[in-house]
């Protein structure tokens, strides 16, 4: 028997010993491990979700972003006036739907990347560069980051509107809607959108789409926020962010007060029950 065969035999024996020890440890701890796993089931708290209706509309020289302001924690309304339109740069903004923490930190990551780009090259970042950062980040997590985004802005090529989905796919559209109320919102957009819309018409269309989502989705509500990003003739970008642009979930006062006299209800039968029985006091000797 040569040395190589001896070494191979020794290594095989060591592997068998290690495997037998691991099996014995697993058999001995299986009950304890199962108890720990079972105790940890269903213990995670519910994350706060934006529950959301977000809309984007693109014009010839502008982009409109709109969102509702309700965030939910399961069936509970966590916040009635949360901002879902996030700042990324002076010429780019982003609407976020999904888990509130994921949308917040994803947009903050893009904001930091574009700020570094501006400091390094001293130029306005392109909208496609921002979308590329977001889609690469989301694709690397394969949908485990619950952030559905609508990115809008104006750069050297003109206005642009992109939908970025949690798995990293990207859509380029003249109008789009995402979130739990997007089914109602996209119906309004497909019906009323037309090419060459003016800014006031696009703002009204975006508000109508958000309102449709609020009316048909329990997880959307409260107010409507809008963000307008314009490109002037001098290539200067202007951004206007209006909080509480339109109030939808306003509490309505009662129309009238109803009072009924006590004799208006006829008593047909009356029974009296003694719920407390009185007994003789006990004598206590000291």
Among candidate residues 9, 50, 52, 172, the one labeled active-site is 52
Residue 117 lies inside a defined structural domain of this protein: yes
Residue 240 lies inside a defined structural domain of this protein: yes
Per-residue confidence (pLDDT) for residue 69, from 0 to 100 = 92
Q: Using alpha carbons only, what angle is made at residue 148 by residues 85 and 122, rounded to the nearest 5 degrees?
A: 60
For the chain, the first-to-last Cα distance in angstroms comes to 101
CATH of the domain at 116: 3.60.20.10
- Whole domain around residue 87: which residue ranges? 53-246
Residue 23 lies inside a defined structural domain of this protein: no
Per-residue confidence (pLDDT) for residue 266, from 0 to 100 = 79
Residue 38 lies inside a defined structural domain of this protein: no
Residue 61 lies inside a defined structural domain of this protein: yes
pTM of the model: 0.71
CA-CA distances (angstroms) from residue 204 to 33, 79, 150, 226? 58, 25, 18, 10
Q: Is 52 an annotated catalytic residue?
A: yes
Number of domains in the chain: 1
d(CA 162, CA 84): 16
pLDDT at 2 over 90: no
Residue 262 lies inside a defined structural domain of this protein: no
Q: Which of 19-28, 78-87, 276-285 has the lowest mean pLDDT?
A: 19-28
Is the model more confident about 262 or about 137?
137
Residue 138 lies inside a defined structural domain of this protein: yes
pLDDT band at 128; cut points 50, 70, 90 = very high
Q: Which of 45-59, 147-161, 178-192 has the lowest mean pLDDT?
A: 45-59
Per-residue confidence (pLDDT) for residue 238, from 0 to 100 = 74
Residue 198 lies inside a defined structural domain of this protein: yes
């Amino acid at each position: 028997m040569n040395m190589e065969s001896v070494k191979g035999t020794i290594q095989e024996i060591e592997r068998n010993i290690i495997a037998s020890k691991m099996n014995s440890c697993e058999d001995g701890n299986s009950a304890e491990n199962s108890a720990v796993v079972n105790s940890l089931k269903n213990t995670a708290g519910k994350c706060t979700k934006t529950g959301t209706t977000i809309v984007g509309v693109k014009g010839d020289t502008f982009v409109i972003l709109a969102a509702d302001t309700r965030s939910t924690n399961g069936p509970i309304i966590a916040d009635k006036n949360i901002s879902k339109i996030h700042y990324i740069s002076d010429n780019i903004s982003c609407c976020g739907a999904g888990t509130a923490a994921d949308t917040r930190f994803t947009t903050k990551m893009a904001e930091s990347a574009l700020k570094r780009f501006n400091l390094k090259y001293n130029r306005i970042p392109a909208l496609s560069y921002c979308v590329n950062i977001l889609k690469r980040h989301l694709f690397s997590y394969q949908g485990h980051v619950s952030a559905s985004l609508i990115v809008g802005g104006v750069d050297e090529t003109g206005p642009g509107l992109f939908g970025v989905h949690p798995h990293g796919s990207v859509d380029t559209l003249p109008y789009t809607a995402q979130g739990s109320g997007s089914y109602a919102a996209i119906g309004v957009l497909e019906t009323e959108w037309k090419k060459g819309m003016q800014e006031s018409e696009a703002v009204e269309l975006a508000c109508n789409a958000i309102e449709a989502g609020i009316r048909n989705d329990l997880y959307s509500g409260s107010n409507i926020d809008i963000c307008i990003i314009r490109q002037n003739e001098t290539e200067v970008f202007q951004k206007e962010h209006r909080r509480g642009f339109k109030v939808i979930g306003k509490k309505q006062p009662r129309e009238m007060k109803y009072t009924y006299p006590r004799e208006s209800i006829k008593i047909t039968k009356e029974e009296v029950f003694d719920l407390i029985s009185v007994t003789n006091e006990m004598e206590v000797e000291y």
